[in-house]
Amino acid sequence: MFQDFTTTARPDLGPTRLADLRAAMSEAGLDGFMVPRADAHQGEYVAACDERLSWLTGFTGSAGFCIVLHEIAGVFVDGRYRTQVKDQVASVFTPVDWPEVLPGPWLAERLSGGRIGFDPTLYTVGQIEAIDAALQGTDIALVPCDNLVDRVWKDRPAPPSGMVSEQPLDFAGESHADKRARLGAGLQQDGHGAAVITLPDEICWLLNIRGTDIARNPLAQGFAVLHASGLVDLWMGPEKLSEVRTHLGEDVTIHPQAAFWSDVSGVLQGVKGPVRLDKAAVPVAVKQALDEAGVEYVYGPAPCALPKARKNETEIKGMQEAHLRDGAAVVEFLSWFDAQEKTTLTEIDLVQKLEECRRATNALLEISFDTIAGAGPNGAIMHYRVTEDTNRQLQSGDLIVLDSGGQYRDGTTDITRTLAVGSVEDTAKRAFTRVLQGMIAVLRQQWPAGLAGSHIEAIGRAPLWNAGQDFDHGLGHGVGAYLCVHEGPQRLSRAGDVPLEPGMILSNEPGYYRPGAFGIRIENLVVVEGAPRGQEADVHRAMLRFRTLTFVPVDRNLLVQHMLTRAEVDWLNAYHDTCRDVLKPRLAAEAQLWLDRATAPL
**pLDDT 10s digits, 15-52:** 999 999 999 999 999 999 999 999 999 888 899 999 99
275 and 132 within one domain = no
| Confidence at residue 38, expressed as pLDDT on a 0 to 100 scale | 94
| Residue 353 to residue 19: CA distance in whole angstroms | 42
Q: Does residue 303 sit in helix, strand or coil?
A: coil
Distance of CA 280 to the CA centre of its chain: 16
Q: Does residue 279 sit in helix, strand or coil?
A: coil
Among candidate residues 557, 519, 524, 555, the one with its CA nearest the CA of residue 372? 519
Express the helix, strand and coil content of the chain in percent, nearest 5 each: 40, 20, 40
Angle between helices 566-583 and 589-598 (to 10 degrees): 170
Q: DSSP labels for 152-197? A: H-TTPPPPP-PPPEE--HHHHSS-HHHHHHHHHHHHHHTT-SEEEE
Among candidate residues 220, 250, 225, the one with its CA nearest the CA of residue 236? 220
CATH of the domain at 118: 3.40.350.10
177 and 272 within one domain = yes
| Confidence at residue 342, expressed as pLDDT on a 0 to 100 scale | 97
406 and 534 within one domain = yes
In a domain, 160, yes or no: no
331 and 375 within one domain = yes
- Whether residue 515 is preceded by a cis peptide bond, meaning omega within 30 degrees of 0, is no
545 and 434 within one domain = yes
In a domain, 351, yes or no: yes
Residue 15: its H or E element: helix 14-27
Q: CB atoms < 10 A from the CB of 380, how many?
A: 22
23 and 147 within one domain = yes
Contacts with 19 (C-beta within 8 Å, 6 or more apart), sequence order: none
pTM, full prediction: 0.94
In a domain, 2, yes or no: no
Boundary of a domain, candidates 122, 152, 182: 152
**pLDDT 10s digits, 273-330:** 999 999 999 999 999 999 999 999 999 999 999 999 999 999 999 999 999 999 999 9
273 and 215 within one domain = yes
Q: Does residue 538 sit in helix, strand or coil?
A: coil
Residues of the chain with pLDDT under 70: 1, 7-11
| Confidence at residue 299, expressed as pLDDT on a 0 to 100 scale | 97
| Confidence at residue 226, expressed as pLDDT on a 0 to 100 scale | 98
Per the CB < 8 A criterion, the answer to whether 496 and 490 are in contact is: yes
Domain span including residue 526: 310-596
Beta strands in 17-59 (DSSP E): 32-36
Report how many domains make up the chain.
3
In a domain, 157, yes or no: no
| Residue 315 to residue 95: CA distance in whole angstroms | 41
218 and 143 within one domain = no
Beta strands in 300-370 (DSSP E): 364-367
Per the CB < 8 A criterion, the answer to whether 211 and 239 are in contact is: no
| Confidence at residue 383, expressed as pLDDT on a 0 to 100 scale | 87
| Confidence at residue 319, expressed as pLDDT on a 0 to 100 scale | 98
349 and 207 within one domain = no
408 and 318 within one domain = yes
Per the CB < 8 A criterion, the answer to whether 253 and 231 are in contact is: yes
Give the dihedral sign, CA 479/483/489/493: positive
Single-letter amino acid code for the residue at 288? Q
Among candidate residues 435, 421, 434, 416, the one with its CA nearest the CA of residue 368? 416
Per the CB < 8 A criterion, the answer to whether 81 and 92 are in contact is: no
| Residue 47 to residue 38: CA distance in whole angstroms | 10
Contacts with 547 (C-beta within 8 Å, 6 or more apart), sequence order: 526, 527, 528, 529
Angle between helices 103-110 and 125-134 (to 10 degrees): 40
CATH of the domain at 483: 3.90.230.10
